[in-house]
Homo-oligomer: A and B are copies of this chain.
């Protein structure tokens, strides 16, 4: 697991450095709406937005990609976003957190993607009096349903302010954890059968990988509860009474996510124990086979060895019945051994197994 910090040590705080290799956004997605009206456009620079300050509705700026320092600096110049907050937004290895600045509230959350392994993507949300700015690492997100609700006036979103929009974004991100967790849950279910049936190194590797994924998911989701309870507790002036009630509901969802993640973590470490036990059981089986075979044949081979000796005076060898008697003795020993093993429960078919 890589946990790159992304900080360039030695720079003064608040220095905005574009992340190398980060996606460079070309345009900004702007959605402006009031109860009666909605306008969408894509602009190349924040300066291009006509009534950014005195629009009497809500303005939502969405920037996908963090590679353009100019765009970030404009956010500071035109909207007064604090340099420290913007620095955190560029450093894409933040823990989820909420910081209140004089002119805006700054919230960091992480979206989860599940490709080969779990990946997390940082989303920064700035909430001012009448605007919301979202910064994402890559294009593509889980916010389309919000755009849709704004466009079609579904639900209450158009009749509320910027705080409700921020709530809707936070809620959408938290809700997007659930399908993700369901997928992990299915992987765990599969593994549960496999660790008992096939305790092989590949299964061990998969258990280990799932534990990794859960660790990553936990790091992304664990602080979310604190973030929301912090916003609720601090009575931020940017959040009105209605949005507060909705955020409280959001808090319950965050707790539910944590609950599931912790349950999965317990299941995953339980799997490790079960794996170990299964390996031991398998080894036990192998040992039993060896022991049964060896214990039956070693004495028989010994008897054959006895009568393979070349002593001149060995009376049994002369007897006509010698050879059949040896066979009888050998069969008797074998039957006796098999009965013993059955009693000890070492042979399948015994009721103990």
Contacts and interface: CB of A to CB of B under 8 A. Distances in A.
A306 interface: yes
Nearest to A222: B259
One complex includes copies of this chain to the number of 5
By CB atoms of chain B within 10 A, which of A15, A306, A318 has the most? A306
Interface in A270-299: 270, 272-284, 286-291, 293-295, 297-299
Given A200-B352, A307-B311, A290 B289 contact: no
A349 interface: no
Contact of A12 (B154, B260, B305): B154
Question: Interface of chain A, helix or strand or loop or mixed?
Answer: helix
A308 B301 CA distance: 11
A312 B317 contact: yes
Interface in A236-276: 245-246, 248-249, 252-253, 255-256, 259-260, 263, 266-267, 270, 272-276
Nearest to A341: B289
A180 B160 CA distance: 47
B293 A346 contact: no
A232 interface: no
A169 interface: no
A313 B325 CA distance: 12
Interface string A74-98: 0000000000100010000111010
Interface string A41-54: 00000000000000
A323 B305 contact: no
Closest 4 pairs (CB-CB, A-B): A12-B155, A10-B145, A304-B305, A5-B178
